[in-house]
Structure 1
């Protein structure tokens, strides 16, 4: 192999992992973020690179190619000229709004931030539905059986985040669960729970509290550990609680990218659910799933 080809491969690898260098020492996972929580096998830097590659591929398919903002500059300039005589308070507010808009325009669709736990990567998302995107990825891998990652293990959407304290979680969950479980919406469900670097949340109490909230939104919501329509995923890291409600959790092997490509039709003859929340999922016939994650 020529030295030029080898250099080309090195450049390709560097470009592939380029953004991963920002993983260490960057912004941390915090309350208010949406995104995707990814577990990996030791190599976090490579995991970030794989995540960017995979998410950008499917993000472009679902949402179109990403375009960083460079518009509206002339428009904002003309507004400034028209409002030169504004008082100080209005001018200050306008400047703050412009800074916020400029910041939002230049944020990437996917951005790695510190998760706060080893072998866990968090990719913050902007203008993306994490639940829809991750389900689409897993559905495609399940269908095509094409292995696209090496170090990524599980990929879990994080639709909402709150402080990881019992009262904060209960208050947040009352509103968060409404799109799936508030009457007339309903569905069978299970709850899976995982805590990292946190010792002040009790697993059994969290599951009990969340199950009661789901039941209060519609008495027809029932726990089902065999064929749940929905799986409530609770992932706690330090003082941040990440929440999501996902479909096809067992069909997609607990959202494990390595295992989902191994699944055979003989093992799971049913079809994945539609990506839309408001479409009923077909009941799957699968092996019983524990109520909690391990």
Structure 2
């Protein structure tokens, strides 16, 4: 009896517990070397973040590239008319190709994949430039100040990926960075590095090696941590290194869609404040000098009213005699 009970418990556990979970994640698609797309960070709600990301990306992609065009796996009427004019062998080959395409999953413009880190999703892009798309989104949000998401935090384009080992990264970046930093091109820059679920890369060593590489491409490239023209983004997740070079990283609040819609708070004018302070000090100094002059003048006037010499008094008394 106990054996039957144990068997039923095992079946129940496999049906409703870990067995289903393992099957679910075994077939999941993950971020891999060779992909391009967008890394999107969120706060504890990846499902809602994915939905917001698709809405936001499709809205702006339609404006830049037009509505997404899906291929008709069944073929069009024009294809059928052309097939009538072709040889039988060519027509058969085309039909086989269409049947194979209908059985395969069609690549969409945006596909959500498992990034390999919590609170981070990866949207794989197809047939578009993710850096230009993300910059366009942030530019519009910055100018309109219209909030269009609740859980999305940062949107980082990924225009290149390689293995997350220092030698592989340097080798890959040697060619990847040429369009921006190789002579005659040059710019001020900074490096934004972050590693998730990876402990074999040290931040300072990676930044130093990349900076040395940029310097070799053109000695005129200079580091600027305040307001750089370009920012080299390096995001390591497990064994994959995601890379991109972006503009206006500081202006668009490190590509944070929540911060970029906030009104800019004017910084206090240090020069004006310093000038006003100096003016007040000069005025106080002038007032003090005038006060001293008046006091000195009053003392001099008082001295004139007092007899200066006892001889004058003695003289007066003598004349009286």
**Length-normalised TM-score, structure 2:** 0.68
Structure 2 partner of 1:69 = 71
Equivalent of 1:84 in 89, 113, 125:
89
Decide whether aligned partners of structure 1 residues 23 and 243 sit closer, same or farther in structure 2, where only a CA change above 3 A counts: farther
Aligned to 1:5: none
Tell me if 1:112 matches 2:117.
no
Q: Secondary structure in 2 aligned to 1:180? A: helix
What residue in structure 2 maps to residue 278 of structure 1? Answer: none
Partner-residue secondary structure (3-state), 1:84 = helix
- 2:46 maps to 1:44: yes
Whether the aligned pair in 1 keeps the contact of 2:74 and 2:102 (CA below 8 Å) is no
For 1:84 and 1:31, locate their aligned partners in 2 and report how far apart those are by CA, in whole Å: 39
Which secondary structure does the structure 1 equivalent of 2:195 belong to?
Answer: strand
Answer with 1 or 2: which has the greater Rg: 2
Give the structure with the higher percent helix: 2
Aligned to 1:143: 143
Q: Secondary structure at the match of 1:189?
A: strand
Could you tell me how far apart the structure 2 residues matched to 1:42 and 1:109 are? 26
User: What residue number does 1:29 align with?
Assistant: 31
Alignment map for 1:1-294 (pairs within 5 Å)? 26-70=28-72, 73=75, 75=79, 78=83, 82=87, 84=89, 106-264=106-264, 266=266
Residues 25, 114 of structure 1: 8 Å contact kept: no
SS of the residue corresponding to residue 124 of structure 1 reads strand
C-alpha deviation, 1:82, in angstroms: 3.8
Counterpart of 1:281 in structure 2 is: none
Work out the CA distance in 2 between the residues paired with 1:68 and 1:111.
14
CA contact (8 A) 2:189 2:223 kept: yes
Report the Cα distance in structure 1 between the residues aligned to 2:146 and 2:214, rounded to whole angstroms. 36
CA distance in 1, matches of 2:197, 2:244: 20
Structure 2: gaps of 5 or more residues:
1-23, 268-321
Equivalent residues of 2:73, 2:98 under 8 A apart: no
Partners in 2 of 1:73 and 1:263 — Cα distance? 51
Instruction: Answer whether contact 1:195 1:235 (CA < 8 A) is retained.
Output: yes
How far the C-alpha of 1:236 sits from its partner, in A, is 0.4
Cα distance in 1 for partners of 2:176, 2:199 equals 24
Report if the CA contact (8 A) 2:74-2:98 is conserved: no
C-alpha offsets along residues 164-190 of structure 1, whole Å, 9 cap, x if unaligned? 011110110011101111111110100
- Rate the CA distance shift 1:97–1:195 in 2: closer, same or farther, 3 A: farther
Task: Give structure 1 stretches of 5+ with no counterpart.
Answer: 1-21, 86-90, 268-294
